[in-house]
Amino acid sequence: MTDVREGRVLPVTDLSLVVLVGASGSGKSTFARRHFKPTEIISSDFCRGLVSDDENDQSATKDAFDVLHYIAGKRLAAGRRTVVDATSVQSDARRQLIDLARQYDVLPIAIVLDVPENVCAERNAARTDRADMPRRVIQRHIRELRRSLRHLEREGFRKVHVLRGVEDVEHATVVTEKRFNDLTHLTGPFDIIGDIHGCSAELESLLVKLGYSDGVHPEGRTAVFVGDLVDRGPDSPGVLRRVMAMVKSGNALCVPGNHENKYGRYLRGRKVQHTHGLAETIEQMAGESEEFAAEVREFIDGLVSHYVLDGGRLVVCHAGLPERYHGRTSGRVRSHALYGDTTGETDEFGLPVRYPWAEEYRGRAAVVYGHTPVPEATWLNNTICLDTGAVFGGKLTALRWPERELVDVPAERVWYEPAKPLRAEAPGGRDGRPLDLADVHGRRVVETRHQGRISIREENAAAALEVMSRFAVDPRLLPYLPPTMAPTATSHVDGYLEHPAEAFAQYAADGVARVVCEEKHMGSRAVALVCRDAETARKRFGVDGPTGSLYTRTGRPFLDDDSLTEEILDRLRTAIDEAGLWDHLAASNSASGAGDWLLFDAELMPWSLKASGLLRSQYAAVGAASGAVFPGALAALEGAAARGVDVIGLLSRTRERSADAAAFTEAYRRYCWTTDGLDGVRLAPFQILAVQGRSLAALPHDEQLALLDRLVEHDGSGLLQTTRRLYVDTGDPESVRAGVDWWLEMTGRGGEGMVVKPVGALVRDAQGRLVQPGIKCRGREYLRIIYGPEYTRPENLARLRSRFLNHKRSLAIREYALGLEALDRLAEGEPLWRVHEAVFGVLALESEPVDPRL
Amino acid sequence: MFLTITTTGTPERPATELGFLLHKHPEKAQAFSTSYGTAHVLYPEADAERCTAALLLEVDAVALVRRGKGKGRGGAPDAALAQYVNDRPYAASSLLAVALSGVFSSAMKGVCNARPELPAVPRPLRIAVPALPARGGPGLVRRLFEPLGWTVTAEPVPLDTEFPQWGDSRYVRLELESADRTLVEALRHLYVLLPVLDDAKHYWVSSDEVDKLLRAGEGWLPGHPEQKLITSRYLSRRWSLTRQATERLELVRLAEADDSEVEEIDNAVEAETETEERPTPLAVQRREAITAALKASGAARVLDLGCGQGQLVQALLKDPAFTEIVGLDVSMRALTIASRRLKLDRMGERQAARVKLLQGSLAYTDHRLKGYDAAVLSEVIEHLDLPRLPALEYAVFGAARPRTVLVTTPNVEYNVRWESLPAGHVRHGDHRFEWTRAEFRAWAEAVAERHGYEAEFIPVGPDDPEVGPPTQMAVFTQTTPKEAKAA
């Protein structure tokens, strides 16, 4: 109905605060509805209604605007464009909205609807709720609006669209514009290059090393410069010429550094101090043509302070940027991008102290920046500084993205003396230490690759915090916690509560054809992190001293004596050496440093080593009490029977109970023996969880066991023990029978039982759901320790069979997914807090209420 | 679950009179159902010379678990998994005491309709309890029964004869003998003292327990040298029972996941100090020293990091100079007790606005702790494993950076002056280390140097010329407001 071609086209940025300005009756709401999504619009009338039940109740105006500002703030914080439908004819009202836009670092945009007074009056008269609005109100609105028009840009609006008259308003169209910094559609691959500072020769060498030929990469890669091209070094014009040409031809992107910014101000004729190497640039540029100088000026003026690239996974800017500033547009965002944040203090060299924003950074996007010279480019919480001080005689560094590989060339010489020595390390130590409480505290949701979002309840996180803080090993050496495991479905075979037939049937139902039965060792769960040496532990895990860790299911050090732990790690390490596993796993892995460390899931025997307190206070206590009471009780009953008193039933029952109690004592004794130092200690590793750069959680169990057999074979110390296993085809009755017999034989001799696992390790069912990674099937005698000495009595078994497994199964899957997540994050070199988040989640879930006997 | 009562007789007073006293015929076996299983009374021997009555309680362990709701569950003194594997079916616990009073209720009242004169007549009695759970061991068993005129044989039962190194169990094989005793007295002694020794009752302690105790203790409990212990254990602590059920479960599960005893993990609050309202003089001196140092620093907004049960927070609240006091602890249990101690829910708004209790951990940086004048770490660092101390150091001195930091810790040199402390032992089971003055000083000075503080050292408690004070305190004062140097 309207002719678009004739109407005005109003560009409106995709993330902005749009303020409609117009008198009552000027058609703001109609305009907003026509051009914006209903959810983008917040009207003051609506908010008035929310707080007072009357959209025209002027006494509610203050509360209504509080609500309006609150909602707008929430939307802007979430990165959503917001349109404010209120008269906004007074500068005071607009100032509050501009402050709001600034607070959330988005562009404030004004759209003015300048409609004649009589049109407004007619429209209001047609509305029952506004019919009695005095004419003078509209007159005042229009007066205020006219007075405002000239000042809107000065007030801070970054775009001002004025629509004069009804026609203009009717025919205008709004087009959404992307922000300049939004290059999410560009996916590279990129080569991000650190601070150059006029080191033209080093730049050329680096470009060659990266594979560029005269500024063009044959594979179509794009160079990205983090700024500080100029000053201090020998040839700033040469650097500018190369970079400008590459940007112009579409082979490069460039963000400005503080040095370009200052030089740009100089070029615009501003008065700036010729310090920090600017004098050198001015002098070098003196030899260049006017034309080139003009191009430089134009280039610098056109630089965008930061870019969001590769679908939002990568942010490049000069001095680093906290997540809340990514993709935002404001003076302070630009300022942070150029200069970083400071604490307001100065150090002993008189230089401003930089605020350690990267230490607190928890964003998902990688932030690649420069600005602060460091000796080595290292990742910290998914951020990396590429300024390796080329001009100070360090090196010029590039980061290949998405490969995350570093490429550098050494400086040819010291071109400029630094004001202070390069800092060795970011504050707080290596790799994201320290962790922040906000990473783990309270109710949380952890995103996992394999099972989506997993929630952690507050009370569980609180308990985990206590255990993690007071008892666990250093979180840097705690990259994984094992998940809980569900038992097999309850058996109805006479005399059994658990029986392997159920486990095989369950996997068959899940579509898993091949399973492996692994003997349970009845030790205690132990996770072992083994580094090649202390230096590797320092390099990979940031710890000084230990060469790894050995910890329990809840992350506690397995042994109190550190030297014993080191001895176990040393024996493992020797076996790994002898078996050639470092090289073997490195060879099957492209990641560099694959042979640096291994992470094992294992059982440590005897059970009594770790659980002696529990054994004494509980299991042995039951044995002691029963052992003390039955002889007397039986003697009394036999005495009464001898006297002809009818106690036959009670006597035989008591004899059975006495036998049950004795069987119980036998059951726990099998898992106890005395140790001295490491004498008598056995370790049975059953899975290699990860190596540097790679999670092995999906490596099929037959391959896992083959590797582990090789390891045990090469252990000369007698520490390591193999895990006996049997492969079963769940669809083949013969094979299933063999599996059952194997279990019967093993548990008949008092064995703890077995774990049945899909050979494929990480398996999904037909619906795409994760299949249980293992199902435990515990021996009949062993279960006395769990369900009590007399659980096998028929009347007890009948009652115990009504047990509920669903929660345990769900818990097992959630913990499994978190464990996998921790391994994946570890493998991908994610920051410590990300690995710790998943590990902490496993610990928290372990405190969820579930039948402890399962 | 089993005990025997034996008496001997003479032609005038045949032993079989026991049957009249107990109201149970010696030639029959009788069964009585109780809430946790079946109680049987039978006589292995019964003639004029000698008569023994046996009480055998068949405990239904599965039902016990389903019904129980006391400490642990089903009255077992251990962790939650213990409810399923516990000693109740075997040990002479409070369950047996309940059965005793149910099955022999007339005898306990001293009523015998057939032979009304019998109950008042003393006779030789021998009581055998082969598996008596006795917290406090044979010594306490003797202290409880001997003053009542019993000849006591109490032998500890070994935990497991195959593992002699495990030592004795908490069970005692008990025999009580007396030449002239009424059965009423004997039964009442057992009724009260079995649960007292067991110290883990299987049912809620309710108000009528007091009446029961008064009734059963009539004539012997007043004046008993251990009256206080008997009363407090018998009545148990209702308060701590309920608390246990609601607050510890998450930690219980984490302990179980590790095959640990819950006490190994849930030990942030010491059992004794819960009821011990009279603090030790050293704790008072420490609080006074801390308060004085805080006042001297001019601090108004103060963090008590590792506030425990809130004693220091409570002391600081009394001084209006402290306008904001934040107590932080990692133990939810400690915080709950602190909150109760401070009566936070009943505090006036103005007072309540001055105090805040937070769960947090110094193993992590915490933005909530920034911007305070002073932080107190009183008896905190020694509860951390040494390798994790740098994280605490950074969280406090690097990230939170209050102007003043007070750290107190035991001076291990002073331990030789504690008479009750065995040589080479730390003062508290959870202390991961205790430092000499030199060690503490070296640590504190290094921390101060790294983070731009100055450390000053103040003795707390009597400053022994040879071994120094029992507690050492470092007062850190920020010298340069600059950021932490590289760690």
Read off the CATH number of the domain in which B372 is found.
3.40.50.150
pLDDT of residue B199 exceeding 80, the answer is no
What would the pLDDT profile of B38-81 be if each residue is shown by its tens digit? 999 999 999 999 999 999 999 877 766 655 444 333 333 333 55
> Cβ contacts (< 8 Å) between B96 and chain A: which residues?
none
* Secondary structure (3-state) at B422: coil
Q: Are A542 and A534 in contact (CB under 8 A)?
A: no
pLDDT (0 to 100) of residue B76: 37
| Separation of alpha carbons A169 and A183, rounded Å | 32
| Separation of alpha carbons A77 and A102, rounded Å | 11
pLDDT of residue A842 exceeding 70, the answer is yes
> Cβ contacts (< 8 Å) between B75 and chain A: which residues?
none
- Among candidates A441, A626, A644 on the partner chain, residue whose Cβ is nearest the Cβ of B90: A626
pLDDT of residue B241 exceeding 70, the answer is no
* Cross-chain Cβ contact B254/A846 below 8 Å: yes
| Separation of alpha carbons A76 and A53, rounded Å | 26
CA distances from A439 to A362, A454, A829, B473 (A): 9, 15, 17, 32
Measured from the Cβ of residue A510, the count of other Cβ atoms closer than 10 Å reads 18
Asked if B194 and B304 sit in the same domain, the reply is no
Last residue of a domain, one of B179, B205, B235: B235
- Residue B82 binned pLDDT confidence (cut-offs 50, 70, 90): low
Asked if B359 and B230 sit in the same domain, the reply is no
User: Residue B187 corresponds to which tokens in the numbers above?
Assistant: 């039964």
CATH code (residue B228)? 3.30.1610.20
If phi > 0 it is left, if psi is from -120 to 50 it is alpha, else beta; for residue B159 that is: alpha
pLDDT (0 to 100) of residue A589: 55
Pairing assessment for the beta strands A366-369 and A383-385 based on DSSP bridges: parallel
Mean of all residue pLDDT scores within chain A: 91
Domain A9-177 CATH class label: alpha beta
Identical fold, A9-177 and A182-410: no
Asked if B146 and B229 sit in the same domain, the reply is yes
Our CA-based measurement puts residue A618 at a distance from the nearest CA of chain B, in whole angstroms, of 7
pLDDT of residue A240 exceeding 80, the answer is yes
Domain contains B273: no
Report the residue of chain B nearest A846, measured CA to CA. Answer: B254
* Secondary structure (3-state) at B196: helix
| Separation of alpha carbons B474 and A475, rounded Å | 28
Residues with Cβ within 8 Å of A57's Cβ and at least 6 positions away in sequence, in order, are A48
User: Residue A76 corresponds to which tokens in the numbers above?
Assistant: 């802007």
Q: Does B423 touch chain A (CB under 8 A)?
A: no
Asked if B361 and B454 sit in the same domain, the reply is yes
368-387 in chain A: CB under 8 A from chain B: none
What would the pLDDT profile of A261-285 be if each residue is shown by its tens digit? 999 999 989 898 888 899 999 999 9
Mean pLDDT, residues A123-145 taken together: 87
Mean pLDDT, residues A737-765 taken together: 94
| Separation of alpha carbons B282 and B296, rounded Å | 21
pLDDT (0 to 100) of residue A156: 92
Domain contains B261: no
Closest by CA to A638, choosing from A647, A629, A627, is A647
CA distances from A15 to A40, A81, A152, A494, A516 (A): 11, 5, 19, 69, 55
Asked if B283 and B217 sit in the same domain, the reply is no
Strand A524-531: give its sheet, edge to edge: A548-551, A524-531, A597-605, A682-691, A694-695
The kind and range of the H/E element at B216 are: helix B208-216
* Cross-chain Cβ contact A607/B364 below 8 Å: no
> Cβ contacts (< 8 Å) between A662 and chain B: which residues?
none
Domain that holds residue B120: 2-235
Domain contains B118: yes
- Percent of residues, chain A, with pLDDT higher than 70: 96
Mean pLDDT, residues B245-263 taken together: 71
ipTM value = 0.84
| Separation of alpha carbons B212 and B205, rounded Å | 11
pLDDT (0 to 100) of residue B316: 95
pLDDT of residue B483 exceeding 50, the answer is no
Q: Does A714 touch chain B (CB under 8 A)?
A: no
Domain contains B289: yes
| Separation of alpha carbons B359 and B266, rounded Å | 15
Asked if B289 and B419 sit in the same domain, the reply is yes
Q: Does A656 touch chain B (CB under 8 A)?
A: no
CA distances from B185 to A160, B109, B110 (A): 99, 10, 9
Closest by CA to B201, choosing from B154, B229, B230, B237, is B237
Residues with Cβ within 8 Å of A735's Cβ and at least 6 positions away in sequence, in order, are A728, A729
Mutate to test the interface with A, among B364, B389, B396, B426 (most CBs of A within 10 A): B364
pLDDT (0 to 100) of residue B319: 93
What would the pLDDT profile of B149-190 be if each residue is shown by its tens digit? 999 999 999 999 999 988 999 999 999 999 999 999 999 999
Residues with Cβ within 8 Å of A398's Cβ and at least 6 positions away in sequence, in order, are A191, A192, A193, A194, A206, A210, A386, A406, A407, A408
Last residue of a domain, one of B235, B265, B291: B235
Q: Does A76 touch chain B (CB under 8 A)?
A: no
Asked if B288 and B223 sit in the same domain, the reply is no
Amino acid at A670: R
Last residue of a domain, one of B204, B235, B266: B235
pLDDT (0 to 100) of residue B287: 93
Mean of all residue pLDDT scores within chain B: 84
* Cross-chain Cβ contact A469/B159 below 8 Å: no
Mutate to test the interface with B, among A618, A654, A846 (most CBs of B within 10 A): A618
Give domain limits for chain A.
9-177, 182-410, 607-669
* Cross-chain Cβ contact A610/B259 below 8 Å: yes
| Separation of alpha carbons A136 and A133, rounded Å | 8
Place of tokens 């005095």: A134
Give bridge partners of residue A306 from the DSSP assignment. Answer: A317
Closest by CA to A341, choosing from A369, A322, A313, A368, is A322
What would the pLDDT profile of B425-480 be if each residue is shown by its tens digit? 777 778 899 999 999 999 999 999 988 999 999 999 889 999 999 999 999 999 86
Pairing assessment for the beta strands B374-378 and B301-305 based on DSSP bridges: parallel
> Cβ contacts (< 8 Å) between B332 and chain A: which residues?
462-463, 466
Q: Phi and psi at residue A434, in whole multiples of 5°?
A: -85, 160
- Among candidates A343, A799, A846 on the partner chain, residue whose Cβ is nearest the Cβ of B253: A846
User: Residue A385 corresponds to which tokens in the numbers above?
Assistant: 């500084």
- Residue B200 binned pLDDT confidence (cut-offs 50, 70, 90): low
| Separation of alpha carbons B290 and B293, rounded Å | 5
User: Residue A572 corresponds to which tokens in the numbers above?
Assistant: 């493992």
Asked if B295 and B227 sit in the same domain, the reply is no
Place of tokens 């004649």: A116
CATH number listed for the domain at residues A182-410: 3.60.21.10
- Among candidates B29, B158, B484 on the partner chain, residue whose Cβ is nearest the Cβ of A645: B29
pLDDT of residue A500 exceeding 60, the answer is yes
What would the pLDDT profile of A1-28 be if each residue is shown by its tens digit? 444 446 899 999 999 999 999 999 999 9
Q: Are A93 and A84 in contact (CB under 8 A)?
A: no
| Separation of alpha carbons A467 and A555, rounded Å | 8
User: Residue B317 corresponds to which tokens in the numbers above?
Assistant: 């609240």
- Residue A529 binned pLDDT confidence (cut-offs 50, 70, 90): very high
Mean pLDDT, residues A762-779 taken together: 93
Mean pLDDT, residues B16-36 taken together: 89
Tally of domains in chain B: 2
What is the full DSSP assignment across A275-333? TTTHHHHHHHHTTS-HHHHHHHHHHHHT--SEEEEGGGTEEEESS---GGGTT--SHHH
* Secondary structure (3-state) at A793: coil
| Separation of alpha carbons B175 and B177, rounded Å | 7
Residues with Cβ within 8 Å of A665's Cβ and at least 6 positions away in sequence, in order, are A623, A626, A627, B160
What would the pLDDT profile of A403-420 be if each residue is shown by its tens digit? 888 999 999 999 998 877
Higher pLDDT, A489 or A6: A489
Our CA-based measurement puts residue B397 at a distance from the nearest CA of chain A, in whole angstroms, of 11
> Cβ contacts (< 8 Å) between A617 and chain B: which residues?
78, 261
Asked if B377 and B460 sit in the same domain, the reply is yes
Q: For chains A and B, count residue pairs whose Cβ atoms are closer than 8 Å.
A: 302
Distance of CA B250 to the CA centre of its chain: 19
Domain contains B248: no
pLDDT (0 to 100) of residue B65: 63
Closest by CA to A478, choosing from A837, A64, A77, is A837
Mean pLDDT, residues A575-600 taken together: 80
- Percent of residues, chain B, with pLDDT higher than 70: 87
Residues with Cβ within 8 Å of A489's Cβ and at least 6 positions away in sequence, in order, are A502, A503, A505, A506, A805
pLDDT (0 to 100) of residue B266: 74
Measured from the Cβ of residue A8, the count of other Cβ atoms closer than 10 Å reads 15
Place of tokens 């560099």: A592
